[in-house]
Amino acid sequence: MKKPKILHVTYGTGKAGIENCVIEVTKALGEEFEFGHLGLFGSGRLTEEFGEMGLYTVSADLPIVRHLLYPLYFTHIPRLTKLIENFGADVVIIYLPPFQWFMAKAAKNAGAKVLFEAHLGISYHNPKLGAFVERRGVNCCDAAIAVSHYIANHYIKEFGVDRSKIGVVHNGIDVNRFRPAAEIERAEIRRDLGIPEDSLVIGTISRFAPAKEVPALAKVFANIADKHKNINLLLVGDGPEMPQVQAELAGIDPRRYYLPGFRKDTERMYRALDIFVMPSAFEAFPLILLEAMASGVACISTAVGGATEIGEDKEEVYYIQPGNNIVMQRAIEELIADKQLRERMSAKARIKAAKRFPLEDMIQKKKRIYESLLEKNSARLKG
């Protein structure tokens, strides 16, 4: 029996949370659906991973234009339609704004149903133009979901999207992959990284992009390194903010911090930590926070976006005000000093992540949406 074909549409160049979700869905539902990937602006991690899985993947190599020149994207609809037809998509999933409008038109020209997944909130220099583009984009899709109530409300309040047009499906995580480490395993991972086994390790796993505020965490560590001789810093990831991170750490003994770059084995990196810190200025619904919680790490997070939907303050997550290094430092030092608080928070975080946000829940909810869209497509073809 022929499998229904589902095409993921992303920027194509990313390697963060959205890409993780795409890969998890594709692997979990590969027996029931045939998946493909279309990168709008280039090739990247998904191109590589879909190629390794033997799945359809292609880049449209669209030019990136300013929001005011958005209508230029509509000139690419015929070529995008052809790429979708080449795959034979029954359902097209668009993961990022503001591309859902012209992509929905291309997908419908190719005879496919369209699902929009809002994974971030977007701001426009011209709010009226932004609201028009986003509202029309959602209305052109057959279904729309957001990764958090925060993002859904952003579309409702900022863009005027009808509440009935957009639902919420929280991201989920593999709690078998992301799990607490046994002491012997933690020691081995630290040895591999060159971190002293008996040190207390704080850190994060992130893209080093401006909104992630990784340099702020590096600066806080630099402020407390002399006071706390047994702490070390682990910052996993890469990106444009790397030079600033390195500048903040310039006066610190290089044996006290570790910058291993982008890693595919992020589950092992979490197991090297005692305290995870997410200093982001904005997060739609942060997978890294969920992954750290599932890994049994005491977590500090800025109270931004959908992050506050994940845990209870000072129960599963220690929430702090964004953009305030003094508050971040105070929270880190409180957890350094209070081992019992760390252990209590890490145990509760693991339970919350496993019970409330398991990967299977997300997969099954999305599967039901795909099946609903396929039924509508089948009914249309019969009609």
Q: What is the DSSP string of 258-272?
A: EEEE--S-HHHHHTT
In a domain, 114, yes or no: yes
What's the predicted TM-score (pTM) here?
A: 0.90
Give yes or no: residues 29 and 144 share one domain. Answer: yes
- Domain of residue 33: give its range: 5-172+359-382
Question: Are 345 and 314 spatial neighbours (Cβ–Cβ below 8 Å)?
Answer: yes
Give yes or no: residues 163 and 208 share one domain. Answer: no
Give yes or no: residues 268 and 282 share one domain. Answer: yes
Question: Are 224 and 329 spatial neighbours (Cβ–Cβ below 8 Å)?
Answer: yes
Give yes or no: residues 101 and 38 share one domain. Answer: yes
Give average pLDDT by consecutive 10-residue segment, the chain, 383 residues: 93 85 95 96 93 96 84 94 97 92 96 94 84 92 96 94 95 95 93 95 96 97 96 96 97 96 94 98 95 97 96 96 97 98 97 96 97 79 49
Rounded Cα–Cα distance for residues 381 and 371 (Å): 15
pLDDT in tens, 194-225: 999 999 999 999 999 999 999 999 999 999 99
Question: Are 138 and 116 spatial neighbours (Cβ–Cβ below 8 Å)?
Answer: yes
Give yes or no: residues 166 and 228 share one domain. Answer: no
Give yes or no: residues 23 and 132 share one domain. Answer: yes
In a domain, 177, yes or no: no
In a domain, 218, yes or no: yes
Give yes or no: residues 351 and 206 share one domain. Answer: yes
Give yes or no: residues 155 and 36 share one domain. Answer: yes
Give yes or no: residues 308 and 336 share one domain. Answer: yes
According to the model, what pLDDT value does residue 378 have?
Answer: 61
According to the model, what pLDDT value does residue 123 have?
Answer: 81
Give yes or no: residues 166 and 194 share one domain. Answer: no
Which residue bears the tokens 């990247």?
44
Q: What does each C-alpha distance from 232 to 3, 37, 138, 151, 320 come to in angstroms? A: 50, 40, 46, 35, 21
CATH number at residue 250: 3.40.50.2000
Q: For residue 34, report the phi and psi dihedrals to the nearest 5 degrees.
A: -100, 125
Domain total for the chain? 2
According to the model, what pLDDT value does residue 71 have?
Answer: 87
Give yes or no: residues 308 and 369 share one domain. Answer: no
In a domain, 178, yes or no: no
In a domain, 14, yes or no: yes
In a domain, 188, yes or no: yes
According to the model, what pLDDT value does residue 380 have?
Answer: 52
Angle made by CA atoms 259, 260, 264, in degrees to the nearest 5: 140
Which of 71, 76, 58 lies closest to 98, judged by CA?
71
